[in-house]
Structure 1
Amino acid sequence: MLGFIAVLLACPPSVRAEDGYKLWLRYAPLAPSLAATYRAQFGAVEAPTETATQRAARDELLRGLAGLIGESPRRGEGAPTVVLGTPASSTLIAAFRDELDALGNEGYLLKHTRVHGRDVLLIAAPQDVGVLYGVFDLLRRLQTGQSLEALEVREKPRIRLRVLDHWDNLDGHVERGYAGRSLWDWQTLPEWHDPRYTDYARANASLGINGTVLNNVNANARSLAPEYLAKAAALADVFRPYGIRVYLSARFSAPIELGGLSTADPLDPAVQRWWQHKVDEIYRFIPDFGGFLVKANSEGQPGPQDYGRTHADGANLLADALAAHGGVVMWRAFVYAHDVPADRASQAYTEFVGLDGAFRPNVIVQVKNGPIDFQPREPFHPLFGAMPRTPLMMEFQITKEYLGFATHLVYLGTLYEEVLQSDTRARGAGSTVARVVDGSLEGHAFTGMAGVANIGNDRTWSGSHFDQANWYAFGRLAWNPDQAARDIAADWVAMTFSPAPEVVRPIVEMMMASREAAVNYMTPLGLHHLMARGHHYGPGPWVEGGPRADWTSVYYHRADRDGIGFDRTASGSNAVAQYAPAVAARYADITQVPESLLLWFHHVPWDHRMASGRSLWDELVARYSQGVQQVQAMRATWADIPTAAPEHQRGRAPLYGADPAAIDPERHAQIAASLQIQRREAQWWRDASIAYFQSLSGRPLPAGEPTPPHPLAWYQAQQFPSAPGDGR
């Protein structure tokens, strides 16, 4: 039954100190002139309220309008009615059924039109969840100051599974988490539904994220025990109205650890029966359970290779158990061989490419963006474009394990865009990674993108204000992988801080330069995996020894008196041959390979002449110093952005209406402090790295480059046993 709800909007309360909790859904009052313009374009809101999703859409729209445009005068005849709904919930929208059918189950239509003699603004979709997505789209347009004149928007996601992977453990510790403890309070579930769970679901729905893997890929078998399934079911109940399905990471040895079997061999009938019974049990708890994420035979995790079976055998075991329920398997391609190979960058390709076409239809292989491990810069993973008969799912890391944790400002939208727009040349020019991931290159309908979440119980959700942008950028690109990182950043800044151009412009420039700055002060010119051992906090290019060579820095940079870099050409590991011939030829040619990947693919003499005219040694030092300078420039830019008066001086004046170009002093000060930390640590990276590589090259520093203030031994002696995200 339709409810006809007048938009009676209260004045915003007195402005309070901001702590980042509201993310990009602040709905702060707009400047008076803009708010007045929008008020004239909204009449009554007509919305169905029979389902939880319908109520969520209605409530979000009213919440957003109340915050953004405040109390409005009585509307005249010209103000259009805002109509929310689907053909099934609204007779008015039923007239647009043909137009909506092309949008799929999650698409939506925003449209100004005239129906039955009255002006209406439609937020229409084939299904309720599409209406919710449409509401968030409309509110984003208001937050960013876009015109609603002649509005006509048709949107549908390009990717089917748009999932956050939480590396959360049952004890509340988050592996590679830099924002506090796990958001999931397993102790108080299933009885207590923390309001943060709903706000988490709202934030994800605002981006079109439609799935959540609740537990770590280094899974504990107890996650599948009945008591934890009841807890997961409680979360699923909270998330369901927002279009979010729950998934679980499955430990491959669960039949042994939970079921008392003597084996987890995927071809053993008893193992197959155990998984079928377990899956049936899960669906009794969670009828719309999404499926399993699996890490197997990697970093010590059990898997099918323990029994002489293949990854396809293991994935198909679980896929068969899930198939009748509509569940899926996301099988990770991040693998280590038991024996250290000549080149770890080759392992995933070697193990998986021969299995192309061997997986069940409800299996998707989840591939990291690069062939090593979420480094500041990597070439795109060679599996993209190499398995045409198998759907491949992109895995990005949102939490910045190798990029300064939560402290450093590093906008990952540019990294994501760089990877997605890389051309695999698998079907000739234009065979981008984005086209592999969205299925259009090979005609796959089963598609996905996963992001390793940067979310914890910190009030900022992400450990810092700017890290929220990476969650935001991931969600937007999972919906449409061809969006521009700059446009996404501009939207985020406008919603998170202020839509005023004098705020948006400089902050976007900071964000767009930030990832390249981090590459420069950490791993310039294609260097990789130079972080300290284990926790990855700070520089450690000297790391060697230990249980595996491919867990050390020296394995990757191979620097010596003559040069530096990993030879992946035919004269070295020949990992370059895993790419399509046109890509391989470019990477293998030292005169054609991009300098940003030079040392990834080549071992290069220190006196090699670079495009700048400098020697490789001089260029390497210059890049390290440039990174520090770029961070200093970000600090200066941030210092010039105006702040509002402290809270006690503001009274009840709406902050963003009175001064839309000012940022609240609380967040401004916190970000300024983080940038100061980043500047200090960028200098540390520069000095420690130069001291180490100079000890090998034996070359003098270029003129004007300052000598590191400490000897190499001082940097090597630094210890951080309680680095965030590692220790408990």
Structure 2
Amino acid sequence: MKRRLVRKLLFGAAFICLLSTQAFAQDGYRMWLSYDLIENPDKLSEYREMINYVSIPLSSPTLEAAGEELTPGLSGLLGEDIATTNQMQNGTIVVGTPGTSDLIAGLSLDDELNQLGPEGYFIEHRVVDGNHLMIIASNEEIGVLYGVFAFLRQLQTLQDLEGLSLKSSPKVEFRVVNHWDNLDRLVERGYAGLSLWDWGSLPHYEDPRYVDYARINASVGINATAINNVNADPKILTDQFLTKVAALADVFRPYGIQTFLSVSFNSPVDIGGLETADPLNPDVADWWESKVDEIYEKIPDFGGFLVKADSEGQPGPHGYGRTHAEGANMLADALAPHDGIVFWRAFVYDPAQTDRFREAYDEFVPLDGQFADNVILQVKNGPIDFQPREPFSPLFGAMEETNTMIELQVTQEYFGFDLHLAYMGPLFTEALTSDTYAKGEGSTVARVVDGSLFGYEHTGMAGVINPGSDRNWTGHPFVQSSWYSFGRLAWDHTLTAEEIAEEWIQMTYSTDEEFIEPVKEMMMMSRDAGVNYRMPIGLTHLYAQGHHYGPAPWTADLPRPDWTAVYYHKADENGVGFDRTATGSNAVDQYQEPVASRFRDLNRISDDYLLWFHHVSWDYEMNTGRPLWNELVHKYYSGVEQVREMQNLWNRTEGLIGSQRFEEVKSLLEIQERDAIHWRNACILYFQSVNNLPIPNGYEAPDHTLDYYKALEHTKYVPDPWYN
């Protein structure tokens, strides 16, 4: 009780600060939960007429959280105090479940609520006995909280309230964010400061920021968080750290967020005193069962484990001659009595494999049907590693008897860290809407991961977010839009990237159409711009090793060939691209028909994926009519021009938002233009050195030599604590 009171007092102080319009109002801390006074006078007047009271039972921590969000949020948006009531008065927002609110129970909502499940919500404008009411109802308290956030979103985006009727339930069971935070507070592939988790002060001091983190996630329906690096330190499972994790779980719980931990497969050896971590060894199984029991004593709603095994040096069952299924199932058996889940990552690759593209499919498809029901295979959207554009992983649609979820990356490991603007909504929807044809046309990746295609026992989507201690959480302010996009799509994958972008702009910056339209256009082109000036036409893996920031298409002679760039582009004087057809690695054969036929046919494959699957000559005629070399040059120069167009679009917004926010993004776009030119020039000069072809007429000449750009390979413009 004392901890909850302290948390509430701290939250209240933080929220008052957040609602202030001066010191912190425009620094990005509040993300899309700003709740500033509505700018549109007509909508403001309409809302003030329809909203006068709130009736919400504060009978549990989750309902308290809903009340702490709704009443201050309404006051901020409407610019006036909102009274509470226990009666159905005109202009009342009636909030709750049939079991917690007599008013909700009296509205006879069984037909509506029966469709929603435990997390869904029902929002409707009704006239009852002459009183205009707004109803926010759910079967469970967490659904009420989601409904409150959804209702506030309606106001933030200036939706009509009269006649409003919404029913919404999540498409997948686990909507989980992954953190790659280390126990020393450095964040692998994190570009926004130190880890959010201050292990030194936990469990005695719970930073109010932890509450705001939970609010941010719950506002888009995220219901799980894996708080530590998949390259896991075994010490996370010691009593010292589990006590700290339990304190975080206490903060997250009212917001419906389950806590998961990434674990090292060799933990029984590293911290348990055993001589082996063999998953079939009874002593190992007993150790994990005991450890799991210990965790649930501290965290009764603990979610389970996220595991990276036999990948990039991480230990796994292969070290003991066992399969991934045997390793995952041993952990699943330990968690099963507590209804815990194992997220088992499919990110594996073997240096002996001739094509890294093939590895995950070849490794896991033979194991289909061997995984326990409480294991979910966590598969990256593409077959390599979060590259700017990848074909969908062939594992989607190939694992009919194995729960399979998708892993997406919000943190901009391959999109310019915290310095480039690259809205990931189009990448996420491109992956989700890809058709696997596993059961004929319409067998999209989204239908695989939501379980509707194969009837999975458990479903999920994971997003690697990696926020940090920077005041605005994400470094570049527009990385917030990708976090928002992930959450919205995890809840409802039928949304479009464009409508999500518009929501985020309205909630984060402005509802002024003069601002929304150019910024939305800028966001929607930003991902393609990033592809074009980095790795167009299906090129991939051209970045500098280690930090992954700048270009290095010349990289060769590393300890493993699949760490080099030349392994992937295979450029020579005759052509460029990785042959994955029958004359090469035949990875194309991992796809279902007609996808495989389309990828293997030069006359049918999209230009976007050409060099993923084919080694083609430099004079090969593209769909545009240009030879490949000319098209490649055109794409690289187009990427730079797209960044310049993004600058022009942003400049149109000057004066429509605060000068500090405007100037920040303007400066970042100038940095992005600089880096886009660097990428363009370095890559074109390198490929020119291979094919000895001139840069076509009409393009500005690179301002430096290839040797100049090679000398910059190990230069990082921003710190990355993982690379030193």
Query: Normalised by the shorter chain, which TM-score bucket?
Result: over 0.9
* 1:121 partner SS: strand
Change (3 A) 1:367 1:497: same
Q: Which residue of 1 aligns with 2:75?
A: 66
**1:179 aligns to 2:192 (yes or no):** yes
Among candidates 48, 51, 54, match of residue 60 of structure 2: 51
**Paired residues of 2:518 and 2:652 also in contact (CA < 8 A):** no
Encode CA deviations 1:353-385: one digit per residue, 9 max, x unaligned: 011010111000000000000000000000000
CA distance in 2, matches of 1:215, 1:236: 13
**1:39 aligns to 2:48 (yes or no):** yes
Q: Please provide the CA RMSD for this pair.
A: 1.8
- Mean CA deviation greater in 701-710 or 351-360: 701-710
Among candidates 502, 527, 535, match of residue 523 of structure 1: 535
**1:535 aligns to 2:547 (yes or no):** yes
Q: Which residue of 1 aligns with 2:36?
A: 28
Q: Which residue of 2 aligns with 1:134?
A: 147
Encode CA deviations 1:497-522: one digit per residue, 9 max, x unaligned: 10111111110000000000010000
Encode CA deviations 1:659-710: one digit per residue, 9 max, x unaligned: xxx2111111110010000000000000010110000010011011122111
CA distance in 2, matches of 1:667, 1:485: 23
Q: Which residue of 1 aligns with 2:715?
A: 720
**1:109 aligns to 2:122 (yes or no):** yes
In structure 2, give the amino acid aligned to 1:292: F
Among candidates 64, 83, 95, match of residue 94 of structure 2: 83
Q: Show the 5 A alignment for 1:290-689.
A: 290-337=303-350, 339-643=351-655, 662-689=656-683
**Paired residues of 1:334 and 1:368 also in contact (CA < 8 A):** yes
Change (3 A) 1:73 1:189: closer
CA distance in 2, matches of 1:120, 1:445: 39
**Paired residues of 1:454 and 1:471 also in contact (CA < 8 A):** no
Q: Which residue of 1 aligns with 2:207?
A: 194
Encode CA deviations 1:461-518: one digit per residue, 9 max, x unaligned: 0001111001000000000112100000000000111011111111000000000001
Gaps of 5+ in 1: 1-8, 644-661
* 2:463 partner SS: strand
Q: Which residue of 2 aligns with 1:100?
A: 113
Task: Report the identity percentage.
Answer: 55
**Aligned structure 1 segments of 4 or more residues deviating by more than 6 angstroms:** 9-12, 72-78
Change (3 A) 1:723 1:563: farther
**Paired residues of 1:393 and 1:449 also in contact (CA < 8 A):** yes
**1:221 aligns to 2:230 (yes or no):** no
TM-score by length of 2: 0.95
**Paired residues of 1:250 and 1:293 also in contact (CA < 8 A):** yes
**Paired residues of 1:12 and 1:66 also in contact (CA < 8 A):** no
Q: Which residue of 2 aligns with 1:711?
A: 705
CA distance in 1, matches of 2:616, 2:262: 42
In structure 1, give the amino acid aligned to 2:223: N
CA distance in 2, matches of 1:355, 1:447: 18
CA distance in 2, matches of 1:668, 1:80: 38
Shift of 1:642: 2.7
CA distance in 2, matches of 1:66, 1:513: 36
Shift of 1:724: 2.3
TM-score by length of 1: 0.94
Shift of 1:117: 5.8
**Paired residues of 2:71 and 2:82 also in contact (CA < 8 A):** no
CA distance in 2, matches of 1:632, 1:102: 48
Shift of 1:43: 2.4
In structure 2, give the amino acid aligned to 1:24: W
Q: Which residue of 1 aligns with 2:6?
A: none
In structure 1, give the amino acid aligned to 2:72: R
In structure 2, give the amino acid aligned to 1:636: N
**Paired residues of 1:266 and 1:313 also in contact (CA < 8 A):** yes
- Mean CA deviation greater in 106-115 or 74-83: 74-83
**Paired residues of 2:345 and 2:378 also in contact (CA < 8 A):** yes
* 1:154 partner SS: strand
**Paired residues of 1:39 and 1:72 also in contact (CA < 8 A):** no
Tell which has more relative contact order, 1 or 2 (C-alpha 8 A, sep 6+). 1
**Paired residues of 2:185 and 2:197 also in contact (CA < 8 A):** yes
Change (3 A) 1:694 1:197: same
The number of equivalent residue pairs is 701
* 1:457 partner SS: coil
In structure 2, give the amino acid aligned to 1:629: E
In structure 1, give the amino acid aligned to 2:145: L
CA distance in 2, matches of 1:89, 1:120: 18
Gaps of 5+ in 2: 1-14
**Paired residues of 1:535 and 1:725 also in contact (CA < 8 A):** no
Q: Which residue of 2 aligns with 1:170?
A: 183
In structure 2, give the amino acid aligned to 1:358: Q
Shift of 1:78: 8.0
Encode CA deviations 1:629-658: one digit per residue, 9 max, x unaligned: 000010111111132xxxxxxxxxxxxxxx
Change (3 A) 1:56 1:342: same
**Paired residues of 1:537 and 1:723 also in contact (CA < 8 A):** no
**Paired residues of 2:97 and 2:141 also in contact (CA < 8 A):** yes
CA distance in 2, matches of 1:595, 1:56: 49
Among candidates 671, 689, 697, match of residue 691 of structure 2: 697
In structure 2, give the amino acid aligned to 1:21: Y
**Paired residues of 1:330 and 1:366 also in contact (CA < 8 A):** yes
CA distance in 1, matches of 2:19, 2:343: 45
Shift of 1:120: 2.0
**Paired residues of 1:340 and 1:549 also in contact (CA < 8 A):** no
**Paired residues of 1:403 and 1:410 also in contact (CA < 8 A):** yes
CA distance in 2, matches of 1:160, 1:519: 32
Encode CA deviations 1:119-146: one digit per residue, 9 max, x unaligned: 3211100011100000110111100111
Encode CA deviations 1:357-416: one digit per residue, 9 max, x unaligned: 101110000000000000000000000000111110100011011111111110100000
Change (3 A) 1:73 1:309: closer
CA distance in 1, matches of 2:698, 2:433: 38
Shift of 1:74: 9.8
**Paired residues of 2:53 and 2:83 also in contact (CA < 8 A):** no
**Paired residues of 1:562 and 1:605 also in contact (CA < 8 A):** yes
Encode CA deviations 1:82-101: one digit per residue, 9 max, x unaligned: 11100110122222234212
- Mean CA deviation greater in 582-591 or 42-51: 42-51
